[in-house]
Amino acid sequence: MSKSINEENKELLSAALACAITKRSDHDSVGASASVLHTRSGRSYTAGVIETDTNLLTIFPEQTVLLHALLRRDIPIESVTSVAPSTATLPLVLKILADAAARIDRGFSYTLAKPDGTIVFETGDVRHSLPGYTSPLSKLEEFCSESYKDDIITASNSLKEAALSGMQRHIRTKDSGSRYGAAVRAKDGTVFIGASLGSPDKRLGLHAEMAALALLLSSGRKQFTEIAIVSEKFPVTPCLFCGCCRQFISDIARKTGSAPKLTGYALNTDESMESSLSELYPNPWSSNTL
């Protein structure tokens, strides 16, 4: 007899699907995936998939709910439950979850269900769910010793201050890694803080500005007006947006009808560089042009 996810998770996932950004249409949740994460504190976080034209820059909903918990230092994580139209991305997702469990030195359960709620995969401990894979990551002592912080959503007027706060939460693959932070302002003025989520498989990591946008979109908001970044790698000159982030921001801006201002700040000086998206990335790639 087939098993189904519980009603609470069904309701949470249904709401999360409404926040999904799909390649076909930002308003079409048909064929989309969504996740809900529960922590021992009793808090829950939800997100829908964020698909991009380039595919490689797509953010799985499991990554976004992990960001919600990890950036807030809301651990231990108890469970992640997802709905998806297929199991095609399951190996990549299991790798992401195993790496997160290694960072906090504690396993948690994962359940994948069809859109109707029928369970197609489940494991009690994500650390041992992908045959042949053991995460090379170890516990981040600095990360795990910090207490819960509920300030990744703010009304701050200073995007640099918000980005600096994000930099302090950078989730590195090792304690010595360089830190990046970002902040994005939604059209309604709300600011979301982002930090990089490192991965031993570089394709599965998230840059800070991608993380900030993922958190904004998971809130149900769409349009955004400003993005700012800062990094230890740029102490006296303005931090630069990398190529993949310019493409990602371009994809999401087009899908949401946004025209954001992009600002890179120097870490230790007042230097900054402000650009429009069209100035910084004048010829974005889009599958719609093919």
**How sure is the predictor about 283, in pLDDT bands with cuts at 50, 70 and 90?**
confident
Task: Note the pLDDT of residue 147.
Answer: 87
As a whole number of angstroms, the distance between CA 41 and CA 32 comes to: 28
Minimal CA–CA distance to 23: which of 60, 66, 67, 54?
54
Residue 26 has pLDDT above 70, yes or no: no
Residue 217 has pLDDT above 70, yes or no: yes
Query: Could you tell me what percent of the chain has a pLDDT over 90?
Result: 76
Structural domain boundaries of the chain? 7-129, 151-281
Residue 176 vs residue 69, higher pLDDT: 69
Task: Note the pLDDT of residue 29.
Answer: 54
CATH topology of domain 7-129: Cytidine Deaminase; domain 2 (3.40.140)
The CATH code of domain 151-281 reads: 3.40.140.10
State pLDDT tens for residues 172-213: 776 656 789 999 999 999 999 999 988 888 788 899 999 999
Virtual torsion, Cα 150, 154, 159, 163, nearest 10 deg: 10
Listed range (95-109, 165-179, 204-218) with the worst mean pLDDT:
165-179
State pLDDT tens for residues 235-253: 999 999 999 999 999 999 9
H-run or E-run covering 261: strand 261-265
Does 7-129 match 151-281 in CATH topology? yes
3-state secondary structure of 185: strand
Residue 122 vs residue 54, higher pLDDT: 122
CB 60 within 8 Å of CB 92: yes
Listed range (13-27, 89-103, 150-164) with the worst mean pLDDT:
13-27
Q: Output the six-digit token pair for 165.
A: 């706060």
